[in-house]
């Protein structure tokens, strides 16, 4: 009896270990679950359907966004996994939970429906600017490349506002998103209209989740107004509440100067 129990225990442990290794192997080798791959510069795009004529120009715009990051490395090979029929995005959803996208190591994967002409990704009735979403997730790859596994989230345990706020900072760079005072005015008006809104809308009717938006403002204040580098911000022990107080005081003074 004991031998039988031991035998089955070994089999279950072996099965679990093999299953774990299979999942890990698949996650880090997305080509196993895609029919096609296309290489454009240092990007490898995994896809089942054909790429649209607009894809390459969208990718060029994305690359221009992330090149402005202090973490950019033009030698970094990046993998983009599209949601166009492969089960890979569904696997990532089960492992990471629902989201517009995920960026880790040198891989980004997406949920939602891409509209390359409209430049949007739609998920659950909300739209994210397509180029900015890809840039946001690629910024997480830049963070990983710069900091390494042990010092990148989740193992790095950096505050979410510093981690996600920087991805928003790098990606939110259209002409109406460049100035902190205007971005703070936008959230101020949005709160007046709906204090409990999940996200903040831009002029193109795309959205930033409220928590990400608030984090973006803090990072923008630290980098653009205080003149910090991102690495300095990560290593800083200034409490979030203190930065919020500083930023709000700066905003009030800025409004006085504008008036």
Helix 210-220 with 160-171: angle, nearest 10 deg: 80
> What CA–CA distance (Å, rounded) separates 120 from 133?
9
Determine whether 73 is exposed, middle or buried from the number of CB atoms within 10 Å of its CB (0-12, 13-18, 19+): middle
Q: Average pLDDT of 128-149?
A: 97
Rg (CA), the chain: 21
**Residue 238 or residue 20, greater confidence:** 238
pLDDT at 28: 81
Confidence tier at 258 by pLDDT (50, 70, 90): low
* Backbone phi and psi for residue 34, each to the nearest 5 degrees, phi listed first: -120, 150
Which pLDDT band, with edges at 50, 70 and 90, does 126 fall under? very high
Each residue's pLDDT tens digit, 40-98 = 999 999 999 999 999 999 999 999 999 999 999 999 999 999 999 999 999 999 998 89
DSSP state of 54: T
Measured CA to CA in angstroms, residue 194 lies from 15, 20, 55, 111, 208 at distances of 51, 44, 35, 27, 15
Closest CA to 165 of 240, 62, 68: 240
**Strand ranges across the sheet with 78-81:** 36-40, 43-47, 78-81, 107-110, 101-104
Residue with the two structure tokens 């070994």: 10
Which tens digits make up the pLDDT trace of 60-74? 999 999 999 999 999
pTM surpassing 0.75?
yes
């Amino acid at each position: 009896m004991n031998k039988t129990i031991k035998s089955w225990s070994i089999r279950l442990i072996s099965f679990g270990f093999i299953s774990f290794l299979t999942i890990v192997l698949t996650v880090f080798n997305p080509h196993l679950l895609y029919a096609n791959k296309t290489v454009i510069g240092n990007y490898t795009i995994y896809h089942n359907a054909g790429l649209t004529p607009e894809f390459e120009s969208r990718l060029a715009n994305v690359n221009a966004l992330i090149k402005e990051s202090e973490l950019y490395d033009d030698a970094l090979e990046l993998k983009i996994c599209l949601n166009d029929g492969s089960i890979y995005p569904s696997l990532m959803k089960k492992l990471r939970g629902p989201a517009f996208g995920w960026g880790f190591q040198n891989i980004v994967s997406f949920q939602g429906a891409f509209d390359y002409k409209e430049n949007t990704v739609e998920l659950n009735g909300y739209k994210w600017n397509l180029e900015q979403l890809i840039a946001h997730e690629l910024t997480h790859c830049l963070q990983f490349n710069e900091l390494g596994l042990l010092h990148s989230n989740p193992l790095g345990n950096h505050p979410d506002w510093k981690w996600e706020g920087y991805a928003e900072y790098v990606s939110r760079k259209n002409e109406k998103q460049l100035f902190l005072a205007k971005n703070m005015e936008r959230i101020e008006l949005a709160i007046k209209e709906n204090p409990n809104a999940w996200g903040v809308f831009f002029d193109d009717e795309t959205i930033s989740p409220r928590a990400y938006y608030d984090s973006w403002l803090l990072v923008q204040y630290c980098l653009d107004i205080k003149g910090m580098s991102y690495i300095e911000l990560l290593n800083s022990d200034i409490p979030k509440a203190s930065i919020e107080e500083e930023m709000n005081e700066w905003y009030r003074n800025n409004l006085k100067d504008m008036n």
